[in-house]
């Protein structure tokens, strides 16, 4: 069932206090930091909103399971979980970077020799579950997809959005842009 604006706010309000995997931030803090990093870098609204919502699939999975925990020990394919709920609700410029943000990590591990060393312990663990680094051939195929470079930028903000001391704007700050993108897509 497609999510509306109230559904998204409710999910983040009710379940966003859950810890973001093994990181020292909550799901809400992680989402808000990721969006703020994108906004501060001058990214377009579509990518800022993609950053805000990129891990919402974890919260949907927890809601469906009736748990207050987001179990990130196993690969829940959260990058795909969200898509049926936002298809027709938000444009591909939001949905595709979300869909590709795990693949972007696999790409960066292959394409940038120094990238792997920057990953947190939890992210190294999840990389193994997600299939590990791409081969050079897989990386080239990844980059041929529309919005692949947006997904790589999302990934870089994602990796940095784990600071327990970073103060960022609240969810309300992003809602007018989220609503506007929804209205344009409907
Ligand atoms: Fe994330």
| pLDDT tens digit sequence for 172-185 | 999 999 999 999 99
Specify the CATH number of the domain 5-164. 1.10.3210.10
CA of 163 to the centre of ligand 1 (A): 12
- pLDDT by residue (tens digit) across 147-177? 999 999 999 999 999 999 999 999 999 999 9
Q: Which of 6, 77, 56, 5 is nearest to 158 (CA)?
A: 56
Q: How far is the CA of 121 from the centre of ligand 1 (A)?
A: 14
Q: What is the pLDDT of residues 38-62, one digit of tens each?
A: 999 999 999 999 999 999 998 998 8
Expressed in angstroms and rounded, the spacing between residue 55 Cα and the centre of ligand 1 is 5
- Please give the distance, rounded to the nearest whole angstrom, from the Cα atom of residue 84 to the centre of ligand 1: 19
With CA atoms as reference, report the closest residue to 51 among 181, 139, 185: 181
Q: Are 120 and 162 in contact (CB under 8 A)?
A: yes
Ligand 1 geometric centre to CA of 164 (Å): 14
User: How far, in Å, from the CA of 69 to the mean position of ligand 1?
Assistant: 16
- Kindly give the distance from the C-alpha atom of residue 43 to the centroid of ligand 1, in angstroms, as a whole number: 17
Greater confidence, 121 or 108?
Answer: 108
How many other CB atoms sit within 10 Å of the CB of residue 91? 16
Domain boundaries, the chain: 5-164
């Amino acid at each position: 069932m497609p999510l509306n604006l109230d559904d998204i706010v409710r999910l983040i309000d009710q379940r966003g206090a859950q810890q973001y995997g093994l990181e020292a931030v909550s799901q809400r803090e992680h989402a808000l930091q990721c969006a703020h990093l994108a906004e501060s870098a001058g990214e377009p609204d579509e990518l800022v909103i993609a950053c805000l919502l990129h891990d919402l699939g974890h919260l949907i999975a927890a809601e469906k399971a009736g748990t207050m925990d987001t179990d990130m020990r196993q690969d829940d394919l959260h990058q795909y979980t969200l898509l049926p709920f936002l298809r027709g609700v938000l444009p591909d410029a939001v949905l595709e970077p979300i869909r590709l943000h795990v693949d972007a990590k696999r790409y960066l591990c292959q394409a940038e020799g120094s990238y792997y060393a920057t990953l947190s312990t939890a992210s190294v663990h999840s990389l193994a579950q997600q299939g590990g680094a791409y081969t050079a051939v897989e990386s080239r195929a990844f980059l041929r997809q529309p919005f692949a470079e947006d997904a790589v930028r999302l990934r870089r903000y994602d990796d940095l959005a784990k600071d327990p001391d970073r103060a960022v704007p609240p969810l309300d700050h992003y809602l007018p842009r989220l609503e506007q993108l929804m209205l344009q897509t409907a």
